Amino acid sequence: MTVRVRFAPSPTGMFHVGGARSALQNWIYAKQQGGVFVLRIEDTDAARNKPEWTEGILSALDWIGISRGSYEGPYFQSANAGEHRAAAARLHESGRAYYCDCTREDVQARTGSQYQGYDGYHRDRGLGPGPGHALRFRTPDEGATVVVDLIRGEPTFENKLIEDFVIARGDGSPVFLLANVVDDMTMGITHVIRAEEHLPNTPKQQLLWEALGVKPPIWAHVPVVVNEKRQKLSKRRDKVALEAYRDEGYLAGAMRNYLMLLGWAPSGDREIVPWSVIEDEFRLDEVNLSSAFFDEKKLRAFNGEYIRALPVAEFVDACQPWLTGTGTIAPPPWQPEEFDADAFAAVAPLAQTRIAVLSEIVPNVDFLFLASPLIDEAAWTKTMKDGSAELLDDAVAAFEALDSWDAESLKSTLEAVGAERGLKLGKTQAPVRVAVTGRTVGLPLFESLEVLGRERTLTRMRAARLRLV
């Protein structure tokens, strides 16, 4: 038997990081088993679906390494609507489903509780199809439904506790439960790997598989992804869009590695490992049953490690979208013609060790490409105190006299200026840094001044001095 797994997102918004984890888990499992990964777009919610969301899913999968052409599909659930209706009809004809025109209020009136499930009122009343007549599955009265789950063992659900659930609406359109089952049957899916939030629906879906005469798939319900308050990640409350992390400058390799660690770990006391190790060692039956905490701080640290591990040339290439204003959330504060590739290449090794996400490259190097620095007013107020004007005067005079404009000469010269005032280098260089870069923190100062050049450095220091008048 060829293993066939599927990833079935809905194109109703940005691509959720939890969905990305499910896609990766399915992808790796299929590769390990020599099987097939199927992509199905569940697009039957016409009111919320948008073509750009579908393209967003495909692009996001590309980014994390599940490239187009390497999987089967994408298929679209809407294209299988005829099969969904045909399955509903077969279930009715075989007596496994019946029509019901009860409203929620009807059920509540009979049971006396808004929390009571459907009471089977129309099971044997012979109601036929018609407007407002929903089709309900006839759940067995006795026995239990056993779900074979690669992660959770064999969860068992008593059938008497499963209500006769709706499989087609009053207008005849099948609901998600039935459409999902029929699609999986049509596509020959053998294993369904998904989040545990779907587990309550699984006995219902398994009953549908059996009623339609097909052997159910093997299930694997992985733990849900939660935030720091142990709440399920929500797009309304949490930062969950994979595209947002991509556009902020997270590397695909770091994101991929981190997502696979949500509920699982490779052998040994290690977390950052080559992707080939994850592909080789990942096992569904080793996935932890506890909810998986999506720790953005940890992801950020991961990403910093991945950035520092890049060859410098690759780091330079990776920064280009943020430096040139292509494919980013916002363009850089300079015009494209102001960007100096040689200047950036000179400071790239220094910047590479100081940023955790690629978008941070802009505030670290913007002073190189602007006519004047963007002054952080809080930094100015904190740094430019009594004595700063005179210190800048002395520094300008000392820098003007330099024969060689290099980092070492600049450093020793400014140290001497500070020593005459009884200041250590840290105190001495702070006003110079703010005058030249606009900030109190950034790349190593003297290497930055060397790249910026004598003329631009002195011009900025003089301008800062005039502001202190």
Q: For residues 54 and 278, is the Cβ–Cβ distance under 8 A?
A: no
The single-letter DSSP state of residue 77 is G
- Tokens, residue 8: 């079935």
Which residue has tokens 């142990």? 230
Q: For residues 209 and 177, is the Cβ–Cβ distance under 8 A?
A: no
Provide the CB-side half-sphere exposure for 467 (13 A, CA): 17
Question: Are β-strands 292-293 and 97-100 bridged in parallel, bridged antiparallel, or unpaired?
Answer: unpaired
298 — phi, psi (to 5°)? -70, -40
Which residue has tokens 């910093």? 304
* Type of residue numbered 35: G
Helix axes 445-452, 425-437, angle to 10 degrees: 40
- Tokens, residue 337: 């013609």
Using CA atoms of 225, 230, 232, 238 in order, give the dihedral in degrees to the nearest 10: -90
151 — phi, psi (to 5°)? -105, -40
* Type of residue numbered 310: L
Does the active-site annotation cover 204? no
Q: For residues 287 and 264, is the Cβ–Cβ distance under 8 A?
A: yes
Which residue has tokens 């050049």? 453
Residue 269 CA to residue 447 CA, distance in Å, equals 38
- Which of the residues 31, 232, 235, 427 is marked catalytic? 235
Helix axes 425-437, 388-400, angle to 10 degrees: 80
Please choose, from the candidates 145, 137, 136, 142, the residue with its C-alpha nearest in 3D space to the C-alpha of residue 160: 142
Provide the CB-side half-sphere exposure for 83 (13 A, CA): 16
Helix (DSSP H) and strand (DSSP E) numbers for the chain = 19, 12
CB atoms within 10 A of CB 212: 16
Task: Give Cβ neighbours of residue 432 (< 8 Å, ≥ 6 apart).
Answer: 392, 395, 414, 445, 461
**Active site residues per annotation:** 235
